[in-house]
Amino acid sequence: MCPPAHFQVTYSINPWMDPAKPVDTAVALLQWEDLRDRYRALGHTVEILEPVPGLPDMVFSANGATVVDGKVFGARFANAERWDEAPAHLEWFRAHGYTEIHEPEHVNEGEGDFTPTASWVLAGAGFRSSPAVRAEAQEFFGRPVIGLELIDPRYYHLDTALAVLDGDEVMYYPEAFSAGSRAVLARMFPDALLATEDDARAFGLNAVSDGLHVILPVQATGLVQPLRERGFEPVPVDMSELHKAGGSVKCVTQELRD
């Protein structure tokens, strides 16, 4: 996780970002600290990436890399405003003993568009990451990479439209995907939890699950009971200040799958 010390919205690279709407950095920091503390209270270790001045979106640390089996697949951001985040992430990994690190040839925004399940790596494209990166990632990770096409600009990253709950169990918002990708998802995950538009719009799919606890935005009320019925324990948190830049729980959380 990376503290939102320099968080602000001074440009717009997704439909949620409006530089005319004020951002309260102090409130964003309090919300971020609450999420960090909840992870620790649940028994998880939280590593801290130091924020860099001039990179207001660095708080969205999920975008900086994808880690699977201890292998680090770096990011190559689509927008110039975020280009300098990628080397900052790779520097952290090198300093912390990671040796299998790949600097990508093709555009990808880390876990924003790469979502590992137990069996596959799901790969979103349509707004940020290049379809060409799928083969590159598959070769590096040695896992099947399944492409999914996003069609609604509000759900510009895969992690705004789909979340892994446990193993190969997922929840997703079907209308965020192309017809072909919806068919693929239905075939791969016939028992998936399907989110409503209201919960998708509330960033309810920008969630993090440890296999039991599902940390998700407090505004996504419609997902709480369905998750409980499946044996999960919802942990609602308020990340509303970060929503102004198009991100929530998952966007600020990069998972280190060592």
122 in Cβ contact with 99 (< 8 Å) = no
Q: Are strands 169-172 and 162-166 parallel, antiparallel or unpaired?
A: antiparallel
- Cα 3 from chain centre: 16
Residue in this structure with the two tokens 């975008």, named with its chain if needed: 63
Q: Is 157 a catalytic residue?
A: yes
Q: Is 2 a catalytic residue?
A: no
Catalytic residue chosen out of the listed positions 2, 89, 243, 251: 251
Catalytic residue chosen out of the listed positions 89, 157, 213, 243: 157
CA separation for the pair 75, 204 (Å, rounded): 24
Which residues are 88's β-sheet partners?
Answer: none
63 in Cβ contact with 83 (< 8 Å) = no
- Backbone φ, ψ for residue 133 (5° rounding): -75, -15
List the beta strands (DSSP E) in the chain. 65-68, 71-74, 101-102, 114-116, 121-125, 145-149, 162-166, 169-172, 193-194, 208-209, 213-217, 233-237
Active-site positions read: 157, 251
